[in-house]
Chain A
Amino acid sequence: MIRAVMVINTQGKPRLAKFYEFQPVEKQQELIRSVYGVLSSRAENVSNFLDAESIFGPDTRLVYKHFATLYFVFVFDSSENELAMLDLIQVFVETLDKCFKNVCELDVVLNYSKLHTVLDEIIFGGQVLETSSTEVLKAVEEISKLETASNAISLVPKSVSSWRSR
């Protein structure tokens, strides 16, 4: 299964962190920090693998991809294929790209909820759920529609805050 998904920027700031096994927040911070520590020392044009066992314990692997200012990191165990995980990162990024039209770090920063919605449609409880970005996008759009619709009902009692969030 997939153990964790992280998006970290090149300065080491986490932009997205999802652990599929419960980890206390302090542990999460420590893990992200150690991953970044190793990532930042890697040269360009080398393989996308990292020794994860020293950080996450036995039977763990880690792949990452570097896009512009962001590292996308997937941690998983022996029941996943390394190259397939690289593909999955690609799927995730492609979906985000379609979602935000040329995704950049700022989109990732400002759209915390949407990012999670996208991710949850791709990975479910550590299992790969969907690998087609169009399917994911379809589901995400419907969920967003439903969200705004349910918010619209609240327009009457809560007009001001709704304007603000527009």
Chain B
Amino acid sequence: MAGFSVMDTLFQRTLDDLIKGLRLQLMGESAFLSKALDEIRREAKSTDPDTKSAALLKLTYLSSLHFYDMSFAAFHVVELLSSTRFSHKKIAYHAASHSFDDSTPVLVLITNQLRKDLTSTNEFEVSLALECLSRIATVDLARDLTPEIFTLLASSKVFVRKKAIGVVLRVFDRYPDSVRVCFKRLVENLETSDSQVVSVAVGVFCELALRDPTSYLPLAPEFYKILVDSKNNWVLIKVLKIFAKLAPLEPRLAKRVVEPVCEHIRRTGAKSLLFECIRTVVSSLSDYEHAVKLAVVKIREMLVDDDPNLKYLGLQALSVVAPKHLWAVLENKEVVIKSLSDVDPNIKLESLRLVMAMVSESNVAEISRVLVNYALKSDPEFCNLILGSILSTCCRNVYEIIIDFDWYVSLLGEMSRIPHCQKGEEIEKQLIDIGMRVKDVRPELVRVSRDLLIDPALLGNPFLHRILSAAAWLSGEYVEFSVNPFELMEALLQPRTSLLPPLLKAIYIQSAFKVLIFCLNSYLLLRGDAASSSYSDKLVPDVPGLFSERDSVGCSDLASCDAPVEAELDEGFNPRDLNQSFGGLSVEYGGEETSTCGQASASASLKDSFTHESITNLLNRVELAVVPLTRSYDVEIVERARNVHCFIELIKPQMPDCLVQKEESSDTEEAEASKIIKLMHDAFSNDLGPISVSAQERVSVPDGLVLVENLEDLETICGDVQLPSLNSFSHGSSHFEEMAGVSIPIFQSKEEPGPSNECTSLLAEHRKQHGLYYLPSEKKDGDYPPANDPQLQANSNDDEDLAKLTEQLLVSKKKPNHAKPRPVVVKLDGDQVPIAAGPHSQEDLLSGTVRDVLLGSETKPTTRSSTKRKGKEKLNVDSTTESKENLGDVEKQDQGNSSTRKSKPHTHSKGRRHRSPGKKGDEGEENCQKAKPKSSGRHKARQRADAPLNVVSQTPVIPDFLL
């Protein structure tokens, strides 16, 4: 054993050797490292402390820079800690602070060693222990070592004392009861002459005050003194940070500090201090006009500085000041806008934020114009940032700042055409949202949509597909505003739509369907109204020719359908075929046809365009485009295409008849055709409204339905759903291929049983597997109430309420005071939820629980250690009562109960001690972690318990201190 150890020692590699070996890399890094790690594992077990320490040093190095786990060596670290030699201790403490955390089991073993080192006469050993403690202190360590730290807080050696002050932060955090022991001395350190000590103490108070400012208000006089007297920039920065937190809580304090802060702004040459002063003013003293003005002057200097850091921070300061003093931003408008083209992405981003802050109802158009121009010039990433921020700013609070929706909609259209635009989803959402909410803008929406749809180049950009689908939906839904529905139909059926993903393609088809219904209906209405015989007389002779032509085209189409098996090929092929035939038709009908395409600007000419042949052409056109799609691989497309196709099949045979027999005007056939069209038109003309965000919540959960909270296992279910469903559909489409030539009705009936059988069996299987997510199976499908049961609706008034509410909102939302009246924007109460109410209520909940914890912590039992230290506490209490007497002279006149705020915790803690024996041990240490150091627990609890009284009594305190 001994020999092994000596050999180890003799030939051990030191850290230097390890590093040099790594640099040479003779055998590859990972091989070298794993070999070294094996060595270390062996060496760490050695009984020789030198070997052990060298091994641990190497291990810490590897762990720190090569990220090897070193938790296995925790016990060896503890062993080495007890070495008497400084160099060993140093390595051990370094290793401990690097690798230990709260869950390290051996932590309980080091308490005594730490205590020993903390009381060592060697200041460097003390420093090592303190340093380690500042990283790894747990609740137990903090509790057990509080007395030693208390002693060190008054050490004569500055080197030790400042580290002791630093460690207090961690100790307070872990063991709040230590506040009662150490707080007094910590405050004393604020007032010492040594600037290093003050610096660290202020730093600690800055951290504490940031977490819970209210508790540190009583210390304002001390901080104020430092703010006025100190010459050390580091200290001043920290004090300013403290005041930035305290000032908003106590207006009179703000009044006091505003002058010294301004003084620093005027005098200081240090940029860091200057910036901190500015930040304090703009964030916490923004009510003081002269201070803000001074700060803005300095911000301006920063903005024009060559140093990008200052420029960046200046912009940041501006965005802090923006909400309250927009003039400051407007004053620097040019610089801000110029910064949009800065090379530094930080600066660009910050200036973009500022520009967005400037946006208001009056300038939104102007700013958006500037930004869109910038977006055109910028790199893709920033371009999308710009677009994103325009979109989010404009849609904020249900398009609050938009007055001219026509302009905004055309801006959306313009943004879609920016080459780098990747905001398709957002634009899609807004287009549809505006369409549903703002009735007045629909004509413009349809116009913009038409421009987007008609451009075949746009279909090539996948980022735009979502926008195009929105445009298609809009032009279908609001086709009545369309100037030229025929043109729209052309756009919707153009060959390049095959580039769209299936789902979006389905939207196109559905929209085409709507347009078709609209045209037919308009045509019928027109005919019914006009009944001009000369008109139809002229048309009648054309009919046979027209239809023979159509038939031939249909046949050729069918023939072409028979041959190819692959639907893809079909899709590419057919539209072209159809274009040709359409071209042929338009040649044949020369005059009228061109007129339908060409004119269309006025509604009068629109009426003219609904001629018999144009309608028939339209029907043919749609049929030709849709038939090949019924053999698509995608269910959505197939379903929509079938709908359209079946409809055309129904209507088409009756079209010539109803024309011929129109004069008789009492034919049942015609009535039937027009009935169908009317019915369809009615179905589509129902206005779709926006849906409240909270709509889902309004649906009450039916009795007996148990909702599962945790849906994690749903993923596995969805996982195995994917495959079978895919299979079944591809199976279906193979049917399609086989029967391509057969007429549709037959093939439908034949094809249906196959997949549906398969589906039901799959479904049954699935239900067996995951019964949890299905409704109870004893209920037959027929038992479920139909979705739109009129009886049910009559029973529940919810829908009516909603409708009423919407109406109310509609009325109340009108803004009459604008020159150009803002169109009505439908708003639902639920719309506000995600913006304002959601987080707010959550916050209330949070503060509520915090309050609970704080109130709870008041009755927290004192643990054994504090009883152990009662003597010291008493000493503490005594000393504060002294200070109470000193200050009491000044204060006694105006407040009885609030005496010195500083002493409150102590007096209060006495009360706690009385109570504590009663409820011992039912509260964990976790509570103390939440409860803030010093007094927060007691303090806040007090404040909340007698809030109104306290506010009155506490306000006179601060000025008295300051005077």
| Residues of A participating in the B interface, judged by any CB pair closer than 8 Å | 1, 14-18, 20, 22, 25-26, 28-29, 43, 45-51, 78-79, 81-84, 86-87, 109-110, 112-113, 116, 120, 124-131, 135, 139, 142-143, 146-151, 153-154, 158, 160-161, 164-165
What is the CA–CA distance of A124 and B165 in the complex, to the nearest angstrom? 10
Q: Does B690 contact A (CB under 8 A)?
A: no
Interface status of B196 (Cβ within 8 A of chain A)? yes
Whether A113 pairs with B15 at a CB distance below 8 angstroms is yes
Question: Is the beta-carbon distance between A161 and B312 smaller than 8 angstroms?
Answer: no
Q: Is the CB of B207 within 8 A of A79?
A: yes
Contacting pair A120 B131 (CB below 8 A): yes
Shortest CB-to-CB span from A148 to chain B, Å, is: 8
User: Nearest residue in A to B10 (C-beta to C-beta)?
Assistant: A160
Tell me if B131 and A139 are in contact (CB < 8 A).
no
CB-contact partner of B63 in A25, A78, A82, under 8 A? A25
Given A48-B309, A82-B313, A128-B199, 13 additional A-B pairs, CB 8 A:
A14-B65, A15-B65, A47-B346, A79-B210, A83-B271, A110-B20, A124-B167, A127-B203, A146-B122, A147-B86, A161-B9, A161-B12, A161-B54
Cβ-neighbour of A29 out of B67, B159, B311 (below 8 A): B67
Give B318 Cβ to nearest chain A Cβ, in Å: 15
Q: Which of A127, A142, A161 is B169 in contact with, Cβ under 8 Å? A: A127
Closest-by-CB residue of A relative to B123 is A142
Q: Is B923 an interface residue (CB 8 A)?
A: no
> Which residue on B lies nearest to A13, using beta carbons?
B65
A49 to B312, CA, bound (A): 9
B878 to chain A, nearest CB (A): 30
Interface centre among A43, A126, A129 (most CB of B within 10 A): A129
| In the complex, chain A residues whose CB is within 8 Å of the CB of B16 | 110, 165
Question: Chain B: which residue is nearest A47 at the CB level?
Answer: B308
Structural contact, A81 and B94, CB atoms closer than 8 A: no
Partner of A143, one of B91, B124, B311: B124
The answer to whether A125 touches B14, judged by C-beta atoms less than 8 angstroms apart, is no
Q: Is the CB of A125 within 8 A of B86?
A: no
Tell me, rounded to whole Å, the shortest Cβ–Cβ distance linking A97 to chain B.
21
Binary CB contact string for chain B from 311 to 326 against chain A (1 if under 8 A, 0 otherwise): 1110000000000000
Taking CB atoms, residues of chain A closer than 8 Å to B162 are 124, 129-130
From B91, B101, B241, B313, give the contact of A83 (CB < 8 A).
Answer: B313
Give the chain A neighbours of B159 by CB distance below 8 A.
139
User: Once the chains bind, are B272 and A87 in contact (CB under 8 Å)?
Assistant: yes
Knowing A29-B67, A48-B309, A129-B200, say if A82 contacts B275 (CB, 8 Å).
yes
Contacts of B345 in A (CB 8 A): 46
Minimal beta-carbon separation of B336 from chain A (angstroms) = 16
Question: Out of B61, B63, B124, B135, which one reaches A20, CB within 8 Å?
Answer: B135
- When chains A and B are docked, how far (Å) is the Cα of A25 from the Cα of B67? 5
A83 to B912, CA, bound (A): 45
CA distance A1 to B67 in the complex (A): 24
Smallest beta-carbon distance A102→chain B, Å: 20
User: CB of B163 within 8 A of chain A?
Assistant: yes
A68 CA to B311 CA, complexed, in Å: 24
- B90 / chain A contacts, CB cutoff of 8 Å: 113, 143, 147
B196 & A130 in contact (Cβ 8 Å cutoff): yes
Scan residues 112-135 of chain B and give those whose CB is less than 8 A from a CB of chain A. 122, 124, 130-131, 134-135
**Residue B485 CB within 8 A of the other chain:** no
Give the 4 A-B CB pairs with smallest separation, nearest first. A125-B134, A83-B272, A47-B308, A46-B344
Q: Choose among A26, A81, A158 the residue that contacts B276 (Cβ–Cβ < 8 A).
A: A81
A17 cross-chain contacts in B, Cβ below 8 A: 64-65
> Which chain B positions have C-beta within 8 A of A151?
85, 87
Please give the distance in Å from A38's CB to the nearest CB on chain B. Answer: 10
Band of interface residues on B: 35 or more
**Chain A: which residue is nearest B49 at the CB level?**
A154
Q: How far is the CA of A84 from the CA of B345 in the complex (A)?
A: 22
Residue in B12, B69, B86, B102 whose beta carbon sits within 8 Å of that of A146 in the complex: B86
With the chains together, A79 CA to B241 CA distance in Å?
Answer: 7
Report how far A48 CA is from B307 CA in the complex, Å.
10
Q: Nearest-CB distance from A33 to chain B (Å)? A: 10
Nearest chain A CB to B511 CB, angstrom units: 40
B29 to chain A, nearest CB (A): 11
B166 touches A125 (CB 8 A): yes
Residue among A14, A22, A83, A124 making CB contact with B163, cutoff 8 Å: A124
Cβ proximity bits B73-94 to A, threshold 8 Å, 1 near / 0 not: 0000000000001111011001
B199 contacts across to A, CB distance below 8 A: 128, 131
Shortest beta-carbon distance from B136 to chain A in Å: 8
**A164 to B308 alpha-carbon distance, docked (Å):** 49
Q: List 27 A-B contacts (CB under 8 A).
A: A1-B169, A17-B65, A18-B64, A20-B135, A25-B63, A45-B343, A46-B343, A50-B346, A79-B210, A79-B238, A84-B237, A110-B16, A110-B20, A112-B64, A113-B94, A124-B166, A124-B200, A125-B134, A127-B204, A128-B200, A129-B163, A131-B234, A150-B86, A150-B87, A160-B10, A161-B9, A161-B50
Q: Is B174 engaged at the interface, CB distance under 8 Å to the other chain?
A: no
Q: Within 8 Å of chain A (Cβ to Cβ): is B466? A: no
Decide yes or no: A113 and B124 within 8 Å by CB, A82-B313, A128-B234 being known contacts.
Answer: no
Inter-chain CA distance A51–B346, complex, in Å, is: 8
For A48, give the chain B residue with the smallest CB separation.
Answer: B309
Shortest B62–chain A CB gap in Å is 10
Q: Are A154 and B50 in contact (CB-based, < 8 A)?
A: yes
Contact across chains for B19 and A146 when beta carbons are under 8 A apart: no
Residues of A within 8 A of B15 (CB): 112-113
Q: In the complex, which of the residues A15, A17, A116, A124 has the most CB atoms of chain B within 10 Å of its own CB atom?
A: A124
Q: Check B85–A83 contact: CB distance below 8 A.
A: no
Q: In the complex, what distance in Å separates the CA atom of A125 from the CA atom of B242?
A: 20
Distance between Cα atoms of A139 and B128 in the complex (Å): 13
CB of B344 within 8 A of CB of A47, answer yes
Residues of A contacting B131 with CB < 8 Å?
Answer: 120, 124-125
> When the two chains form their complex, are residues B166 and A43 in contact, meaning their CB atoms are under 8 A apart?
no
Which parts of B862-914 form the interface with A (CB within 8 Å)? Answer: none
Contacts of B124 in A (CB 8 A): 142-143, 146
Give the residues in chain A near B311, CB-CB below 8 Å.
47
Q: Which of A48, A86, A109, A120 has the most CB of B within 10 A?
A: A120
> Given A112-B19, A161-B9, A28 and B67 touching (CB < 8 A)?
yes
